[in-house]
């Protein structure tokens, strides 16, 4: 856009797609849309978890091919009595835990930069190191932000510590996961199944190895894809942009 660019408004809560150092250097203001897509993203996270662990895409393919599930075919795991491990009790992590609790999940583990005692009581959650979260969780749901500390966090070492029956869900950012290591973990049976709504890159090339696996469910980053949420995000993005152009405070400005 050249030197005349004064304002950027992104219709997203994430901003890792922005060249923040260059933006800061040029004094460009940035508006974004936090807090309005948490519920929609949490719903998608739980839907993806259920689809993955109950093998719904495989069952759908059977219906399309005039097949019928017999015996142990397309049999998966339920959630009752299981332990779930949101990677953080951020707003999204809390929203996911709040939705999983009625399914009978008996224990919540979480990790992150610090414990959140205000949330521990609501979910009977326990703050643990990342290693223990991997070792003890039946469901690992990645809900953290992408930072230098979390980039590539879910790698070969992480997957090797997970249970062979565990389910891995990523609804944060694709770069949190080493996708080659995830492919190997799934293909070699180190973990049971994965569900991804975010990948690197987006979209994945159609010949990507992860797309060849029956035990990997991949969605096209549709966490905020409800009519109400997308409309709210669009209005907020427009209002951020207009306020920035007028030199006024934005409803939600990213402070660099």
Nearest of 233, 229, 236 to residue 244 by alpha carbon:
236
Phi/psi of residue 18, each to 5°?
Answer: -100, 145
Measured CA to CA, the distance from residue 239 to residue 150 in angstroms comes to 32
First and final C-alpha spacing in the chain: 20
What crossing angle do the helices spanning 227-246 and 38-53 adopt, rounded to 10°? 140
Catalytic option among 17, 208, 221, 252: 221
Q: And the tokens for 40?
A: 């929609």
CA-closest candidate to residue 87, choices 28, 142, 6: 142
Burial of residue 191 (CB within 10 Å: 0-12, 13-18, 19+) is buried
Query: CA of 178: how far to CAs of 99, 137, 159, 203, in Å?
Result: 27, 19, 10, 16
Radius of gyration of the chain (CA): 20
Q: What residues does 8 pair with on adjacent strands?
A: 30
* CB distance 29 to 253 below 8 Å: yes
Give dist(CA 121, CA 223) in Å, integer: 27
Query: Is residue 221 among the annotated active site residues?
Result: yes
Question: What residues are labeled active site?
Answer: 221
């Amino acid at each position: 856009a050249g030197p005349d660019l004064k304002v950027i408004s992104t219709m997203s809560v994430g901003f890792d797609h922005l060249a923040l150092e260059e933006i800061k250097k040029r004094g460009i203001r940035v508006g974004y849309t936090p807090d309005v897509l948490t519920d929609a993203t949490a719903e998608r996270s739980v839907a993806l978890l259920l689809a993955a662990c109950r093998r719904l895409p495989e069952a759908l393919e059977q219906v399309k091919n005039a097949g019928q599930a017999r015996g142990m075919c397309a049999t998966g795991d339920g959630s009752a009595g299981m332990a779930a491990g949101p990677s953080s009790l951020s707003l999204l992590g809390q929203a996911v835990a709040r939705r999983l609790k009625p399914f009978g999940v008996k224990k919540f583990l979480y990790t992150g930069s610090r414990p959140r005692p205000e949330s521990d009581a609501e979910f009977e959650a326990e703050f643990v190191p990342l290693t223990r979260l991997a070792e003890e969780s039946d469901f690992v749901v990645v809900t953290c932000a992408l930072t230098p500390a979390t980039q590539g966090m879910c790698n070969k070492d992480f997957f090797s510590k997970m249970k062979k029956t565990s389910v891995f869900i990523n609804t944060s950012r694709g770069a949190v996961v080493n996708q080659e290591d995830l492919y190997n973990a799934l293909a070699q049976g180190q973990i049971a199944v994965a569900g991804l709504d975010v990948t690197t890159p987006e979209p994945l090339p159609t010949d990507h190895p992860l797309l060849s696996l029956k035990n990997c469910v991949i969605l096209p980053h549709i966490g905020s894809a409800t009519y109400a949420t997308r409309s709210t995000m669009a209005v907020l993005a427009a209002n951020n942009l207009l306020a920035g152009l007028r030199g006024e405070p934005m409803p939600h400005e990213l402070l660099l």
